[in-house]
Amino acid sequence: MIAACQKRFSEASDTTLFQVCDARDMSQFEDNSFDFILFSFNGIDYISHADRLQVLEEIQRVGKPGGYFFFSSHNLAAFEQEFDFNQQFSFNLLKTYINLAMSALLHVFNFPITLKQLKISAYSILKDESHHFRLKTYYVRPQEQLNQLKQHFSNVKIYSWKNGLEITAAEMHGHSDMWLYYLCLIKCD
């Protein structure tokens, strides 16, 4: 991707315009370098919990105060609904069969995790259907995500993946979108 961008924008005067880096350590960038930071396609969900917190700290460091950070993340409340056998029934028998089969696969690939454990977890690292259940994906409840963000970011708004509308505090608990978008204002140190 970097080579393609460098070729496409070869007339740019700054040859370092496109770089590969690790979001946990962006030491090649000075403090307060960016007005807007985008962490796309739930990418932040494929690192450990400790690394995730480190990424949030690093993003706040390289972001300009008053700038924006926008990212998406998997929603544990939605996974919990998919994991719950009782939530899989429909008047459509084919849909019920497919839902129950998927729920069974989620149980098999996430053994020994139980529905009871998921219900009390703020976040969990789980295997879903992505890449045939081979990836470990970080799922987080919206309230826990807000707790993780509050040290470095303010004015956090949450948006639905399905319809793009803002999700209110009253709608956060049990929201069924598999992932949510977060728009945050970067705080001063």
Phi then psi for residue 64, to 5 deg, are: -75, 140
Q: Which tens digit of pLDDT belongs to each residue from 156-173? A: 999 999 999 999 988 888
> Residue 101 has what pLDDT?
95
Query: Residues near 60 by Cβ (< 8 Å), separated by ≥ 6?
Result: 69, 152, 153, 186, 187, 189
Q: What is the reported pTM?
A: 0.91
| 98-144: pLDDT as tens digits | 999 999 999 999 999 999 999 999 999 999 998 899 999 999 999 99
Take residue 175 and report the two structure tokens written for it.
Answer: 């929201």
| 24 vs 58: CA distance, rounded Å | 6
What pLDDT, on a 0 to 100 scale, did the predictor assign at position 13?
A: 65
Q: What percent of the chain shows pLDDT beyond 70?
A: 97
166-167/153-160 β-pairing: antiparallel
Residue spans per domain, the chain: 79-133
Name the residue with tokens 């690939």.
109
Confidence of residue 6 (pLDDT cuts 50, 70, 90): confident
* pLDDT given for residue 141 in this prediction: 96
Q: Is the pLDDT of residue 15 over 60?
A: no
